Amino acid sequence: MIETFDQPWEAVSDLRITGVRAIVTAPGGIPLVVVRIDTSEPGLYGLGCATFTQRWKAVVTVIEEHLARLLVGRYPGDIEDLGRLARFSAYWREGPVGNNAISGVDQALWDILGKRAGLPVHELLGGKVRAAADTYTHAGGATVEETLDQAEAFIEAGWRHVRLQVSQLGRGSYGAPSLVGMTDAGAPYPHGWQVSEYLRRTPELFAAARARLGDQVELLHDVHSRLSPKQAVTLARSLEDYRLFFLEDVLAPELWDQLPGVRAASPVPIAVGELATSMTDATRLVLGGGVDLIRCHISAIGGLSAARKLAAAAELVGVRTAWHSPGDTSPIGAAANIALDVTSAAFGIQECHVYPEPVHEVFPGTPRVVNGWWYPNDEPGWGIAIDEEAAARYPAELSGHDAWAAGVRGIDGGLIAP
């Protein structure tokens, strides 16, 4: 029996939350966590993204064992109060497990609100300031040539922004295939990742890209948090001639206090925030002068309610948004990103994932890319449903990220931020 908590004030209707549960599925091969909130009105339910792929079982426990009892019996229109209750009730707050669970609840409540109003969520946020979100996609090959072949194909398909990554020998490449081979046969860890090789190889990639792709396409690159502040500045300056749209995640979160200095010394825009695990941390990035673009995983900071406040803060100080949206963002999370993109003046660019057909089977209404653009769904709420029978055909396993991260080491054997 779920213990319920009293409604703290008289609600505008007798509509109440009757159930809160997590649905875990992996139709694209990546574990996705979706919160479903049911209500006392037959057929009225909401969906929200709570995906923390690497620790999805922990998120499910928080949703079903801790948050459900706070929510059942409450009026679903009190979105802000319910989010604050979920956050403060744990006492020790913030962090990706709790905030992903809260995000799923938050987005599901917005979905319910849109369905009750008969409006898409972007209308509830104030309506469009643009028709669609321009997106970027990812090209990553084992060689420079393979990367640029992929980039050319994306450009021909309509994309105007392409992120470029290329493999290094050994383990630890990010955004491109791992190459089997030793980087230093005499080292304690001969398959190790070497920052010197990375700092040499990356400018070569972008020099070749500009020579082959020309100046019309926007180019991006993800460091994946592996550099020291001095190394980050060195890389940024070596890429100046190639006019990057942004350079992403140059420092690990433990060094974010040094981002303002790196940004000031960098001739290319700096995008950071994927590893922010609270709205508080993300807001400090925006207001502290450390970023040109903020690119949070909105499920990790608490959902749409948190992200729209962050977007408002970004607009006030000239920072642009570039919300995180790879394959470990569910289609509902992608829809939330798009709703923010088309309603915020702070929009910069949107990361894009082309979902495979099994995802569309499980989540009817999943966004499809059109010439590099993502358009908002005009159906009420998120405009995305879930076929739970189909979802059950794609059971989730534990993420393979743990095994990969364990191998991202230097040639001396020391772990490197993956």
- Angle among Cα 354, 364, 274 to the nearest 5 degrees reads 45
Closest CA to 381 of 75, 36, 50, 118: 118
122 is catalytic: no
CB 47 within 8 A of CB 388: no
The per-residue DSSP string of 206-225 comes to HHHHHHHH-SSSEEEEE--S
> Which helix (H) or strand (E) covers residue 162, if one does?
strand 161-166
Candidates 47, 208, 203, 186; CA nearest to 113 is: 47
DSSP secondary structure letters along 292-323: SEE---HHHHTSHHHHHHHHHHHHHHT-EE--
User: Residue 49 in contact with residue 34, Cβ under 8 Å?
Assistant: yes
d(CA 256, CA 282): 11
Give the pair of three-digit tokens for residue 228. 């020291």
Integer Cα distance of 353 and 28 in angstroms: 11
Alpha carbon 70 to chain centroid distance?
Answer: 27
CA 76/CA 74 separation, integer angstroms: 6
Within 10 angstroms of residue 205's Cβ, the number of other Cβ atoms is: 21
Tell me the sheet residues that pair with 48.
35
Characterize the bridge pairing of strands 373-374 and 320-321.
Answer: unpaired
Which residue among 45, 136, 174, 355 is the active-site one? 174
Say which amino acid occupies 73. Answer: G
Point out the catalytic residue in the list 221, 224, 297, 353. 224
Q: At what angle do helices 144-156 and 195-213 cross, to 10 degrees?
A: 40
**Active site annotation includes 224:** yes
Element (H, E) at 34: strand 32-39
3-state secondary structure of 152: helix
**Residues with active-site annotation:** 174, 224
